[in-house]
């Protein structure tokens, strides 16, 4: 049976008691005040109000159906999960504040594969936190590939990353993309470590995909000038 955050009273009470004075961060399905279903990251602590982050990059055909306006024509059901309706998209990347003074940018599942998604929020972040369910990858190389994408995000933004995956690979990654600690696939346990320090803002963190666009334009300009120089040289040699 699947319970939403709104109805899992007994389970949440057990989690809160186990957390004690610590900050509790977890993922859950949540029904909002407008009766929309959200895939959410939730932060709870006695010293701050509950904080919610709703997933913004939804998985097509898994969390929503593209071109849903055509469903009646193709006789497609709108049901895309066990609750009978699609997920509501969140607002986008956010900077969340913790009661201990640290700030982080949350990622849920495959939001980690989008390079520019984090850019609006990382300037004052201390780390990136990803929660994910990689169980559906099965025995494939998917969890390793997903982790590799996250290590690239660490390098791009110069930020350490904490990754929590319910079937692995959970990991702590430093700002250079190096694995500090990890729990392999289907291994139970916990990681107890200091959060690595962040770097100063990186070029990609400041300018995002404009970095690659500038390099592309520079490469085109060099190629054009080089070709023009070769043509002029060949023309002179003929005379």
Cβ atoms within 10 Å of 182's Cβ, excluding its own: 16
pLDDT of 163 over the 90 cut: yes
pLDDT of 46 over the 50 cut: yes
C-beta separation of 80 from 105 below 8 A: no
pLDDT of 234 over the 90 cut: no
Cβ atoms within 10 Å of 30's Cβ, excluding its own: 18
Distance CA 232, CA 219 (A): 20
Q: Using one digit for the tens of pLDDT, what is the confidence trace for 129-149?
A: 999 988 888 888 888 998 999
Distance CA 200, CA 45 (A): 29
How much is the pLDDT for 80? 47
Does the bond joining 66 to the residue before it have cis omega, within 30 degrees of 0?
no
E strand or H helix at 154: helix 142-157
- Number of residues that make up the chain: 239
And the tokens for 51? Answer: 């904080």
Q: Using one digit for the tens of pLDDT, what is the confidence trace for 174-210?
A: 999 999 999 988 888 888 888 888 988 888 888 877 8
């Amino acid at each position: 049976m699947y319970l939403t955050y709104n109805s899992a009273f007994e389970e949440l009470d057990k989690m809160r008691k186990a957390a004690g004075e610590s900050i509790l961060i977890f993922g859950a399905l949540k029904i909002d005040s407008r009766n929309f279903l959200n895939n959410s990251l939730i932060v709870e602590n006695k010293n701050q109000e509950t904080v919610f982050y709703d997933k913004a990059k939804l998985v097509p055909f898994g969390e929503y159906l593209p071109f849903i306006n055509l469903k009646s024509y193709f006789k497609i059901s709108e049901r895309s999960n066990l609750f009978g309706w699609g997920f509501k998209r969140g607002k986008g990347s956010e900077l969340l504040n913790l009661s201990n003074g640290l700030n982080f940018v949350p990622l849920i599942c495959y939001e980690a594969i989008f390079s520019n998604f984090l850019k609006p929020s990382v300037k004052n972040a201390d780390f990136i936190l990803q929660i994910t369910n990689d169980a559906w990858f099965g025995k494939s190389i998917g969890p390793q590939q997903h982790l590799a994408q996250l290590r690239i995000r660490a390098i791009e933004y110069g930020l350490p990353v904490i990754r929590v995956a319910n079937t692995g690979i959970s990991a702590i990654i430093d700002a250079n993309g190096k694995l500090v600690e990890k729990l392999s696939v289907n291994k139970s346990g916990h990681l107890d470590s200091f959060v690595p320090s962040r770097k100063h803002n990186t070029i990609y963190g400041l300018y995002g995909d404009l970095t690659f666009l500038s390099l592309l334009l520079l490469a085109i300009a060099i190629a054009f000038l080089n070709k023009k120089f070769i043509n002029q040289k060949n023309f002179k040699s003929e005379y």
